[in-house]
Amino acid sequence: MRRCLVSLLVVVCAFAARAAITGRGFDMDYGPFLDYTVQLTNEAVSKGVTVKLAAGTHAGAILFDTETLRYAAGWTGGWLDLSKTHLTTYKGEWPPRASGTIQFTNSIETPPGVAKKYRGFYRHGNNVIFRYTIDGTDVLDMPGMENPGASAVFTRTLSLTGSLPSVIQPSAALRVTRRDLEPLCKGGPALWPQTLTTSGKRGSDSGPFVVDTIVVPENNPWRSWMRLTAFDFFPDGRAAVTTWNGDVWIVSGIDEQLKNVKWKRFAAGLFDPLGLKIVRDEIYVLERHQITRLHDLNHDGEADYYENFNNDAGVSPSYHAFAMDLQTDSAGNFYYTRAGQRVDEIYPLNGGMVRVPANGAKAELIAHGLRAANGMSVGPGDEITCSDNQGNWIPSGRINLIQPGKFYGYVPHAHGLPTNRFEPPLCWIPQALDNSGGGQVWVTSGQWPAVLTNHLLHTSYGMASLFDVLWEKVDGVAQGGIVKFPLRFDSGIQRARFHPRDGQLYVVGLKGWQTKGVRDGAFQRVRYTGKPLHMPAELNVRRNGIEIGFSDALERASAEDLQNYSVEQWNYRWTEKYGSDDYSVANPENKGRDTVNLRAAKLSADGKRVLLEIPDLKPVMQMKIKFALKAAAGAPVEWEIYNTINRVPK
C-alpha cells in the first residue's frame, strides 16, 4: 500500500511538473525573435537578440550581441529554455539559456578604437535584419540557416554602404555572403493579422468614483500572457499597451460603454517592457536594455523597425535589475528609473533616475540611491516624482519629489555622494498600506472634480490600490500625506494615464511578484460620476497644528468634537536592515507609536477646513490621522491620512 501511495505521488508530481512547463509563457508565440539577456556556458550576453532560424524538428537559433555587434552563439535542436525566467513564472530566477546543441560560439569583440553604433533591427515576415555602423560603414546584417538539422550551416547576409569592415570575417561556422537587403527594410507581411474584440464591464454608479473594466483578451491565438505593464494614449483615444512577456498591443474602441473594444498585436519579443510613452504618434518603449522606438513602415498595424533610441545603460543579469516607467517633460526629455536592488554598482546608470534628451543622444543619471523605484511621473510644472519600496536602506515605502543631484537613501548606489544623510521623501508610506509602490499621475483632466485639479495620484502594485497625495512645500521643503480611494482593482496597479478625450483615469496592472491583485492582467477605468466626494483634499502643516481641507462642507458639531479624531506618530530607522520597525518619537529607543494629543479642532467659516491644534508640533517621519465626521448634509466623512512632516513653519 505504501509503495502504491509513493508511486501515485510520483505520478502526481510528474504531472504537476509537466503542467508547470506547458502553461502560459511556455506555449506563447513570441514571434521570430526575443530581446533578452541569455546565459551561455561561459558568459551572459546582457543585450542579446535571439533569432529563430528554423522551427519544429529542425529548430535552430542564433544569438546577436547588440553591444559587441557579434553573433555570440548558434545552436540547433531548440530555441530558448525559459523555465527559470519570469516569462513562464510569476517571479523569475535566471536568464534564458540556449535550448539545444550549441554549434558555435564567438567571443571575439570589436577591437578598441573601432567606432560602432547599434541602430536596431527590421522585421520582414520571420526574417530579422540588424542595422549598425562600424567605422562609418552602414551595415545591414541578416542571420540565416542552410540545411536545417544536424548538418546546419549558419549564415549572415550583409548589405554595406562601403567595404567590408575588417572586424567582420567569414568563418567555417558562420558563412558570410553579400546581397542588397534594403528591399526587406520597408515593411513585410503581417504575422498577427487578427483583431480581437472584447466587451467591457461598467461599475455601478454608487459613489463619486467607480471602476469600469476593459476585458483583456487572455485567450488569444498566440497564447500571449496578458500581464499588462505600461501604456499611453494616442491623441485620438487609442491606447498602446505593453505586457511583461514582451508584447505591445494597440487598443481601440475605448468609449463610454466599452462594449466593442478592439485589440491588435503590434509588436512582440521585447525585453521587460515596463514603460511606454507616445510622442507625436510614435511609440517609445522602455525595455530593460534600451528605449526602443517602434515604426510601422508599411502601415499594416505591426511594427517593422525596432529602432534603438538609446541604449547607454548597462544591463545586469540579476532578475531585479529592471528599468521602469517612461515619462517626458515639457522640453521633450525622457525619464525613467533603474533598480539598484541586487545590481552591482559597476553599472553607472543603475540605482537612480535616468534622463535622456529628446534626440536620444546621451543618458545621464540625475538622482541617486533608488532601490526599486517601480514608477514615476512628470507634472504640469515639470515636477518629477517616483516611488520606492521598503528593503535594505529603505525603511518603508516612500514617494520622492526628485531634485537633480540628490541622494535618496539606497547606500549601494550613492554613486560617490555623501551617505551620512539622504533627501527626505515627500511622504513615507507604511508597509501595511502599500508594500510595493507603482507609478504616479497628475490630475489634469477637466472631467474630474475641480478640487482635485493638479493633484498627484499614486498607485500601489502590492495592494492593488489608488491614493490621492496631499502635499505642500514649507520653506521650499516638500511634504505631505496620502489618502486611499475606496476602490478595488483586479491586479496590482502599475501605470495610470488620463484619457485625452473622455478625461477619465485609466490604469493597467499585472500579477507578478507579491500583490493582492488576483488577475494576471487588468485594464480598468476610474470614472467620476459627479456625486459629492466628501473627502480630504488638502493638508497643510501650520506652526500650531495641521489643517485639513475638505471637498465639501462639514457639520460643525462633529468637526469640532475631539472624540471624532485620533492621531498617532512614529519614526523609522535608516539602516542596512531590511525595512524598519516603528519607533517612538518621544522615546527613540522604544519600539511603538506615540499618541498625539489634540488641543482643539476648529472649523473654518465656510465649513471646509479643520485646524487640529497640536502643542509643540515637530517633524516626524510618519503620522496617522483618523477621523469619523459628518458632512453638512449628513453624509459620513470617514478617512485616514498617512503623512510626513519634514518642516514645521516658523
Cβ distance 294 to 310 under 8 Å?
no
The answer to whether residue 23 scores a pLDDT higher than 70 is: no
Query: What is the C-alpha to C-alpha distance for residues 470 and 384, in angstroms, rounded to an integer?
Result: 16
Query: What is the C-alpha to C-alpha distance for residues 482 and 427, in angstroms, rounded to an integer?
Result: 8
- Nearest CA to 65 among 57, 77, 73? 73
Cβ distance 158 to 168 under 8 Å?
yes
Residue 91 confidence (pLDDT): 87
150-154, 339-343, 598-602: the lowest-pLDDT one:
150-154
Question: Looking at residue 399, what DSSP letter applies?
Answer: E
User: Computed from CA positions of residues 513, 518, 524, 527, in that sequence, does the dihedral angle turn out positive or negative?
Assistant: negative
The beta strand positions in 182-320, using DSSP E, are: 195-198, 209-214, 228-233, 239-243, 248-252, 261-267, 275-279, 282-286, 291-295, 305-310
* Residue of 14 and 460 predicted with greater confidence: 460
| Averaged pLDDT, 166-190 | 87
Residue 308 confidence (pLDDT): 98
Query: What is the C-alpha to C-alpha distance for residues 292 and 239, in angstroms, rounded to an integer?
Result: 17
Cβ distance 585 to 574 under 8 Å?
no
Distances from the Cα of 584 to the Cαs of 420, 566, 599, in angstroms? 22, 17, 21
The answer to whether residue 14 scores a pLDDT higher than 70 is: no
What mean pLDDT value characterizes the chain? 93
| Tens-place pLDDT, residues 277-318 | 999 999 999 999 999 999 999 999 999 999 999 999 999 888
| Tens-place pLDDT, residues 420-471 | 999 999 999 999 999 999 999 999 999 999 999 999 999 999 999 999 999 9
Strands 291-295 and 636-645: unpaired
Cβ distance 359 to 316 under 8 Å?
no
Residue 274 confidence (pLDDT): 98
CB atoms within 10 A of CB 421: 9
Query: What is the C-alpha to C-alpha distance for residues 17 and 372, in angstroms, rounded to an integer?
Result: 32
| Averaged pLDDT, 625-639 | 98
12-21, 134-143, 423-432: the lowest-pLDDT one:
12-21
| Averaged pLDDT, 490-503 | 98
Query: What is the C-alpha to C-alpha distance for residues 309 and 117, in angstroms, rounded to an integer?
Result: 11
β-pair partners for 196: 263
- Nearest CA to 425 among 493, 369, 342? 369
| For the chain, domain boundaries | 33-185, 195-418+425-528, 536-645
Sorted by sequence, the CB contacts under 8 Å of residue 237 that are 6+ apart come out as 252, 254, 499, 500, 501, 502
Residue 19 confidence (pLDDT): 34
Edge-to-edge strands, sheet with 456-460: 437-442, 456-460, 465-474, 477-484, 636-645, 620-630, 565-570, 594-595
Query: What is the C-alpha to C-alpha distance for residues 73 and 600, in angstroms, rounded to an integer?
Result: 73
CATH tag for 536-645 (out of 1.10.10.10, 3.55.10.10, 3.30.830.10, 2.60.40.1220): 2.60.40.1220
Query: What is the C-alpha to C-alpha distance for residues 386 and 38, in angstroms, rounded to an integer?
Result: 30
Residue 551 confidence (pLDDT): 98
The answer to whether residue 271 scores a pLDDT higher than 60 is: yes
| Tens-place pLDDT, residues 2-11 | 333 333 333 2
Residue 325 confidence (pLDDT): 98
Quick one: the chain helix, strand, coil %, rounded to 5? 5, 45, 50
Cell of 157: 547576409
Helix, strand, or coil (residue 66): coil
Cell of 186: 520597408
* φ, ψ (nearest 5 deg) of residue 466: -130, 140
The answer to whether residue 119 scores a pLDDT higher than 90 is: yes
Supply the CATH classification number for the domain 195-418+425-528: 2.120.10.30
The answer to whether residue 149 scores a pLDDT higher than 80 is: no
Distances from the Cα of 436 to the Cαs of 36, 227, 241, 389, 462, in angstroms? 25, 17, 21, 6, 5
Query: What is the C-alpha to C-alpha distance for residues 204 and 175, in angstroms, rounded to an integer?
Result: 64
Burial tier of 242 (Cβ tally within 10 Å: 0-12, 13-18, 19+): buried
The answer to whether residue 370 scores a pLDDT higher than 90 is: yes
Cβ distance 579 to 390 under 8 Å?
yes
Of the chain, the percentage scoring pLDDT greater than 70 comes to 96
